[in-house]
């Protein structure tokens, strides 16, 4: 107020100024010109000078204060973006406080991406720069706090029940054996169940230790996403329903479980390869299609049973290889899993594999009796499915159905890129109830442009200029694509198609990119048509969007070097290859590749035992039918096989 008051008084005539000063002096002395002397003495002493009289702006200067100018369209847009950023950050904070770190990370990334992808020059927009700095600093502070207690925003990799029980000791408990044997009388199973000391040891581990209880509990909970689909396929293929519980040993029903050493991956842990009709090329790896990989698993199990004539041996062969089991049967003369177990003919992992599965089946049939009263299974994931024969970017699919691109990725885990294949049919999974909307909207975009163009629902305040700036396309091209003229109003327009040019395909020379000043992980991911999660995965960056200038980043999926540690065994009657076994006896999760014959169908056993086992790898199962289906769609991806299956996100390659 002081500068304003001073300026007002400086413009008054000299006579009025003198009077004003006199009044002010008397006021400061505690009296007015008409106050009697006695009144002055009665006034209490003040510790501070009384406040100056408030002078209205109009009285002080004789001017009318003008209202602030209305915000420009750009300012309105900045404020709208900040409101969205704050909402995303608030959701992330709420998830963080609940301990849901993965969900919090998604919201925090979205908050930052909203600013970076806005097309507005953040550095030259103080309001947005302040918001950007504030959000990044707050997120970094939360992540540092999370790092003190674990892996930051990267979820801890959860052990499968097999891994959790890898160091179990087999102490005999006659009471537990008797109890489990009694439970078999009321157990409905299409497998020939039995209980012995080995099985009872696993039951004890899962029922009476916190580590065992928690890992099996989480497996049972996750199974809800996939159970209906798996049971349907097992019935279709004529194999026992309880074979669903091999997923307990393989992955704990974690569709992202990956063996980083052997390169098997997914819920069923298939090795890379086109087994049982599973397609694998530069765009798609159907090992990670939940429904297709489950069908391959069921067919392979049926083949193993046909080869070996016993479900226990078939389960052991799934872990150890059909050829290896045939060799050990021929060597001992016993076609009996328990005899091979007792004679130490099997690797430790395979010896533990079957008892563990039997224990899981018995507990699943009697959960209350073994302390599993707190099981709340995850609900099935509902999807619509449309079969397409053209390439479409997942970002465009996200636009068309109004779902986050992360959700679209999660529903289509078999994709290795951020786009569907261009030259072959693909079953595209969409959020439930969106197939009709997808068909209506995708028809607005030329088929040849669906791998790069975008769909933009028009929001209040949008103009052709602001939309063109947001997507970094010329305004004239945006107008032409929508049969408009440059400068036309888009008020009342529902949506615009945006002619974004195709992203550059990284060549061998551009697989490494040197970060420039001003780059962020988001802008680099957009430049090369990859996702932010991919870029982080390929470069070992757990979170955040800032990256130092001069750093070299991988902008395409690194080439995978085949495993070199493979042990081959030969029989004595002709040296036939009995199959490959990786990591024999190293603990849960070792797997071996199937023979080439499996590419078209069931592998053929060579004399002396030939076909080696293969761990099916699959993603979250999906119950899907054309345009409307239930799906247990799994999120996440994987490229490896199993053996100490540490869950690991699979990054999609650049499109």
pLDDT (tens digit per residue) in 447-480: 999 999 999 999 988 999 999 988 889 999 999 9
Provide the pLDDT for residue 552.
83
Burial tier of 603 (Cβ tally within 10 Å: 0-12, 13-18, 19+): buried
Lowest-confidence range among 24-33, 194-203, 237-246, 465-474? 24-33
Average pLDDT estimate for 6-20:
41
Most confident range (mean pLDDT) of 55-59, 185-189, 242-246 is 242-246
Whole-angstrom distance between the N-terminal and C-terminal Cα of the chain? 61
Higher pLDDT, 446 or 189: 446
40: pLDDT confidence band, cut at 50, 70 and 90?
Answer: very low
Contacts of 587 (CB under 8 A, 6+ apart): 162, 163, 166, 348, 349, 643, 644
Burial class (CB in 10 A: 0-12, 13-18, 19+), 62: exposed
Does position 181 have pLDDT exceeding 60, yes or no? yes
User: What is the reported pLDDT for 347?
Assistant: 93
pLDDT digit string, tens, across residues 71-104: 888 888 888 889 989 988 998 888 888 777 777 8
Mean predicted confidence (pLDDT) in 211-235: 92
Split at pLDDT 50, 70, 90, the class of 386 is very high
Q: Indicate the pLDDT class of residue 255, thresholds 50, 70 and 90.
A: confident
pLDDT at 362 exceeding the cut of 90: yes
Residue 500 scores a pLDDT above 50: yes
Domains and CATH numbers, the chain: 2-61 (no CATH), 73-149 (1.20.58), 512-554 (3.10.350.10)
pLDDT at res. 60:
47
Residue 324: pLDDT over 90: yes
DSSP per residue, 22-91: HHHHHHHTT--TT--HHHHHHSPPPSSPPPPPP--HHHHHS-PPPPPPPPPHHHHHHHHHHHHHHHHHHH
Task: Find the range with the poorest average confidence among 47-56, 125-134, 201-210, 317-326.
Answer: 47-56
- Share of residues in the chain with pLDDT > 90 (%): 31
Q: Are strands 567-570 and 512-514 parallel, antiparallel or unpaired?
A: unpaired
Residue 425 pLDDT exceeds 90: yes
pLDDT at 632 exceeding the cut of 90: no
Q: Per-residue pLDDT averaged across 597-621, rounded?
A: 36
- 301-328 burial, b if ≥16 CB within 10 A, otherwise e? bbbbbebbebbbbbbbbbbbbbbbbbbb
Q: What average pLDDT does this structure show over 574-586?
A: 32
For position 544, what pLDDT does the model report?
A: 76
pLDDT for residue 653 is more than 60: no
Task: Flag whether pLDDT at 265 surpasses 60.
Answer: yes
Pairwise pLDDT comparison (488 vs 255), residue with the higher score:
488
- For residues 306 and 601, is the Cβ–Cβ distance under 8 A? no
pLDDT at residue 115, as a whole number: 83
Among residues 625, 623, 627, 622, which one has the least CA distance to residue 437?
627
Predicted pLDDT at 628? 35
* For residues 118-125, average pLDDT: 80
Torsion of CA 436, 409, 105, 638, to 10 degrees: 160
The span from the CA of 534 to the CA of 417, in Å, is 10
pLDDT at 571: 29
Read off the pTM: 0.61
Query: Average pLDDT of the chain?
Result: 74
Going by pLDDT thresholds of 50, 70 and 90, the confidence category of residue 623 is very low
Q: What is the pLDDT of residues 511-549, one digit of tens each?
A: 678 888 778 887 787 667 677 777 888 888 877 778 888
């Amino acid at each position: 107020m002081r500068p304003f008051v001073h300026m007002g008084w400086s413009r008054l005539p000299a006579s009025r100024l003198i009077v004003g000063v006199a009044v002010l002096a008397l006021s400061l002395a505690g009296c007015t010109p008409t106050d009697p002397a006695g009144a002055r003495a009665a006034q209490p002493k003040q510790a501070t000078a009384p406040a100056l009289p408030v002078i209205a702006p109009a009285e002080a200067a004789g001017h009318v204060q003008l209202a602030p100018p209305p915000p420009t369209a750009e300012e309105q847009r900045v404020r709208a973006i900040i409101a969205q950023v704050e909402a995303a950050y608030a959701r992330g904070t709420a998830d963080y406080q609940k301990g849901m770190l993965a969900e919090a990370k998604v919201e925090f990334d979205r908050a930052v991406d909203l600013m970076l992808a806005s097309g507005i020059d953040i550095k030259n927009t103080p309001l947005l720069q302040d918001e950007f700095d504030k959000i990044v600093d707050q997120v970094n502070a939360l992540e540092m706090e999370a790092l003190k207690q674990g892996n930051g925003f990267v979820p801890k990799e959860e052990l499968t029940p097999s891994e959790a029980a890898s160091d179990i000791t087999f102490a005999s408990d006659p009471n537990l054996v008797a109890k489990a044997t009694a439970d078999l009388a009321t157990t409905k199973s299409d497998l020939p169940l039995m209980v012995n000391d080995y099985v009872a040891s696993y039951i004890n581990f899962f029922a009476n230790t916190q580590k065992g209880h928690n890992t099996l509990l989480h497996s049972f909970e996750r199974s809800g996403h996939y159970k209906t689909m798996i049971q349907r396929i097992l019935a279709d293929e004529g194999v026992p329903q309880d074979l669903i519980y091999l997923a307990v040993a393989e992955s704990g029903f974690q569709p992202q479980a990956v063996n980083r050493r052997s390169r098997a991956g997914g819920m069923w842990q298939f090795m890379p390869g086109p087994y049982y009709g599973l397609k694998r090329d530069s765009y798609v790896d159907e090992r990670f299609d939940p429904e297709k990989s489950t069908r391959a698993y069921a067919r392979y199990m049926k083949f193993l049973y046909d080869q070996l004539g016993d479900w226990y041996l078939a389960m052991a062969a799934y872990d150890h290889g059909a050829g290896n089991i045939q060799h050990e049967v021929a060597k001992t003369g016993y076609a009996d899993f328990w005899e091979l177990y007792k004679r130490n003919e099997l690797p430790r992992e395979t010896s533990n594999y079957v008892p563990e599965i039997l224990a899981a089946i018995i507990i699943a049939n009697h959960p209350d009796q073994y302390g599993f009263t707190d099981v709340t299974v995850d609900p099935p994931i509902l999807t619509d499915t449309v079969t397409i024969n053209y390439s479409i970017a997942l970002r465009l699919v996200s636009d068309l159905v109004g779902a986050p691109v992360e959700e679209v990725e999660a529903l289509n885990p078999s994709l290795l890129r951020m786009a569907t294949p261009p030259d072959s049919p693909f079953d595209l999974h969409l959020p439930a109830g969106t197939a009709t909307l997808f068909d209506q909207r995708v028809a607005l975009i030329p088929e040849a442009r669906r791998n790069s163009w975008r769909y933009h629902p028009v929001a209040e305040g949008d103009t052709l200029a602001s939309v063109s700036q947001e997507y970094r396309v010329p305004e004239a091209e945006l107008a032409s694509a929508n049969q408009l003229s440059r400068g036309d109003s888009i008020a009342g327009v529902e949506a615009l198609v945006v002619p974004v040019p195709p992203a550059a395909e990284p060549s061998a020379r551009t697989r490494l990119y040197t970060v420039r000043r001003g780059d962020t992980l988001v802008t680099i991911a957009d430049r090369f048509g990859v996702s932010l999660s991919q870029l982080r995965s390929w470069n070992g960056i757990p979170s955040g969007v800032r990256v130092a200038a001069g750093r070299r980043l991988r902008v395409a999926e690194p080439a995978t070097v085949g495993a070199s540690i493979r042990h081959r065994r030969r029989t004595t009657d002709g040296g036939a290859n009995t199959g490959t076994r990786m990591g024999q006896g190293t603990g849960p999760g070792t797997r071996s590749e199937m023979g080439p014959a499996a590419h078209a169908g069931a592998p053929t056993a060579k004399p002396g035992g030939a076909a080696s086992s293969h761990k099916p790898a699959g993603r979250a199962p999906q119950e899907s039918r054309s345009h409307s289906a239930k799906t247990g769609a799994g999120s996440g991806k994987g490229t490896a096989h199993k053996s100490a299956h540490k869950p690991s996100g699979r990054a999609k390659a650049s499109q």
